[in-house]
Chains A and B, each alone.
Chain A
Amino acid sequence: MTFLTIIFRDLWRRPIRTALTMLGIAIGIAAVIALVGMASGYEKGIVKQLDVIGIDVIVSNMEGGLMPKAFDESLTDQIAALPDVAEITTVLMQMLSVEDAPMIMVSGREWGGFTWEKLTVVEGRMPHDGNERAVVLGTMAAEMLQKKVGDSIQIEIEEFSVVGIVDGHSLVENGAIILSLPLFQEASGYEGRVNFIDIRVPTDAGNERIEALCTKIENSFEGIRAVRASEVVGTSQGFKIAKAMSWSTSILAIIVGIFGVMNTMLMTVFERTHEIGILLALGWKKRMIIGLILAEAAVMGILGGIIGVLLGAATLAILGTLPEVRGLLEPDLSLDLILKAILIAVVVGIASGLYPAWRGSRLSPSVALQG
């Protein structure tokens, strides 16, 4: 018999209560996995998209939610004149409800800009020019909207023809409706406005020159933010909000879990007062009693955490198939997130066991024996 035998035997003594307590933790951890996994999936999708397109610097407004606020596109010419700007193009991107899709990315791109370069036509063709009232759909967007080449599609109050299905080589690109910038500006009521200016720098421009360009842009235009594409996710207000919301919701669920374990462990201590008295009379040190109670709480945390990870992974998989989510993000269940979630579960378990363990260790052996 080992110390672990004692822990599991104690937990097994009331299997239903132990299982329900672990379920409490599991739900908290599942929330962490599902919500943070969604936020992380969204981040990764954007990073991949930027990487595929080959954007070095992104210029946007400092204000805005998930999408930055639109600004005057005339800024483009002034930025284009700055040193180290090799290529520049403008984009107006919005999340809209389009026909049966409750939320889909619509991307209006400056005709001829480099953001069109990496789109591979899978079916149909690209628009003939920037004035043709046509869109191309990413492969997943076509699937979600159940559109094929030749169909028409309504964006806001304007109608367009679907002329091609394209592979954008990233989830975000494949989940988007892509059309010429002026057409989308007109359809969305954002004439003359964009919310992204994408820049490519010369291939020989090192980090310092890119940083200098970003600083110059930010210093030259009030309220404008210029960040390297690789840093856009970390600095974006929208991503920060999404991340904060996913973590804060998860923490609420975790707090509920903490009280669940604490309640169980306190009940365990009260129920086992007599047993603790016996252990003390048999020479167990107070720190062994503390260790036993904390270890039981930690084991419930670990097991609850593992169940939570499985529940969270299942939830993520289900969420990934929902029409509201498909095409916008690919749920991300990384090893890092799994380890973090299990670590949280263990900390939750131990933290919840601290007070009960302290109570248990303070019992007087003679009084406890009568209990």
Chain B
Amino acid sequence: MLPQPIPPPAPVIFEASGLVKEFDDGRVAALQRVDFKIASGEFVALVGPSGSGKTTLLNMLGLLDSPSSGSLKYRGDEMAGLPDPSHYRAQEIGFIFQSFHLLGTFTVTENVQIPMFGQGLSAKARAARAAELLDSVGLSHRLNHFPVKLSGGERQRAAIARSLANRPGVLLADEPTGNLDSKNAAQVMELLAQLQREHQTTLVLVTHDREVAAHASRILTMRDGRIISDSAAS
């Protein structure tokens, strides 16, 4: 039997070295010299107790915040030097939040269209893309409902559809099941894992729930602003 060829290693998408984030004039150190690499298409869970720096790190990956010192690169380019952070957030990243962050004055389909503004799409194309995404998360019957009329699980599915609006290469999810019951949490995690597999998206997920983290292929455990372990999920 001929030996199977070894697949080439996936390119590194994020690379951090000596990453530090301080608040309150240096009195609070949220991240302390953090180093890691994340490859394209990886599903990474960031786990750890509250205050361990998970969300701070996720915000930096999404360019919602900037490091106090150290280096954070995206596809080999220093993120601090990216010319247009909003372009990066719109085109490269999809955010999923614990509290969904759907806009209450807009319907579900309108919420999904929000990230598509400024991307050169016509209103018709935006509406069609939103309908397609909502169909893919099982919400085609809820297009014109306002978020307040949706269950928690439906809201998170709508938020997931929104995060995929501009076909991002990276999904950043901050406690996506934190506000859901176990049944809805399981459904949302299945959906996320399925989307990650289908689209070969890099998924970085923050959670303090070990069961949720078990969906990932790799787990980075954080404590007191440091990564204390980097392991493959069981």
Contact = CB atoms under 8 A, between A and B. Distances in A.
A118 interface: no
A78 B43 CA distance: 103
A91 interface: no
A206 to B, nearest CB: 61
A284 B86 contact: yes
A279 B64 CA distance: 11
Contact of A365 (B64, B113, B117, B166): B64
B106 interface: yes
A366 B91 contact: no
Contact of A284 (B59, B117, B127): B117
Contacts, number: 72
B37 interface: no
A217 interface: no
A285 B89 CA distance: 9
B169 interface: no
B123 A280 contact: no
B62 A281 contact: yes
Contacts of B64: 280-281, 364-366, 369
Contacts of A280: 64, 86, 89
Nearest to A12: B105
A282 interface: yes
B113 A283 contact: no
B118 A278 contact: no
A18 to B, nearest CB: 13
B69 to A, nearest CB: 17
A3 B117 contact: yes
Interface in B106-137: 106, 109-110, 113-115, 117-118, 123, 126-127
Interface residues of A, number: 25
Contact of B162 (A5, A282, A288, A365): A282
A366 B114 contact: no
B118 A284 contact: yes
Majority DSSP secondary structure for residues of A touching B: helix
A292 to B, nearest CB: 9
A282 B114 contact: yes
A275 interface: yes
A240 interface: no
A12 B113 CA distance: 19
B103 A278 contact: yes
B209 interface: no
Contact of B126 (A1, A274, A364): A1
Interface string A1-45: 111011001101100000000000000000000000000000000
B59 A366 contact: yes
A147 interface: no
Contacts of A12: 105
A275, A283, A286: most-surrounded residue (chain B CB, <10 A): A283
Interface of A: 1-3, 5-6, 9-10, 12-13, 274-275, 278-286, 288, 364-366, 369
Given A284-B86, A364-B64, A365-B64, 7 more contacts: A1-B113, A278-B103, A281-B95, A282-B115, A283-B115, A284-B114, A366-B59
The 8 A-B pairs with the shortest beta carbon distances in the complex, nearest first, are A283-B90, A282-B115, A283-B89, A285-B86, A366-B64, A366-B65, A365-B64, A278-B101
Interface of B: 59, 62, 64-65, 84, 86-91, 93, 95, 97, 101, 103, 105-106, 109-110, 113-115, 117-118, 123, 126-127, 162, 165-166
24 contacts: A1-B106, A1-B109, A1-B110, A1-B123, A5-B110, A9-B106, A275-B103, A278-B101, A279-B114, A280-B86, A281-B62, A281-B64, A281-B95, A282-B95, A282-B162, A283-B166, A284-B114, A284-B115, A285-B86, A288-B118, A364-B65, A365-B89, A366-B59, A369-B97
